[in-house]
Amino acid sequence: MEHFFDHEQLEVYQLAREFNREVHKLLGEVSRGHAESKDNLTRAAKSITRNIAEGSGKWKVADKVNLSRTVAMLIGMIRSLETRGAPDMSR
């Protein structure tokens, strides 16, 4: 697959795209009457890839510091879940 933008080469972006595909398949199986929930999940899933793309294009030091802080918090959350015996979500 040819990449046109830097963020397309990131593993996290590729996983987010895979997640979007899985959400799309899953929502195809959801019965009628859940349009609002389906829409919310679709928008949330798409938001992940958009945020990754936006974040990878940030070049200001303040933006990078904020992204580093976010990564540190996510790592802390993962470690906390691991110590509580949560299932391993890595592939």
User: What is the crossing angle of helices 11-28 and 35-56, to 10°?
Assistant: 170
pLDDT tens, residue by residue, 1-36: 666 777 888 888 899 999 999 999 999 998 889 999
> 7 vs 32, 76, 82, 85, 86, CA distance in Å?
35, 24, 28, 32, 30
pLDDT tens, residue by residue, 36-78: 999 999 999 999 999 888 888 777 777 767 777 878 888 888 8
pLDDT range class, residue 89, cuts 50, 70, 90: low
Q: What is the residue extent of each domain of the chain? A: 1-57, 59-91
Longest C-alpha distance within the chain, in Å?
47
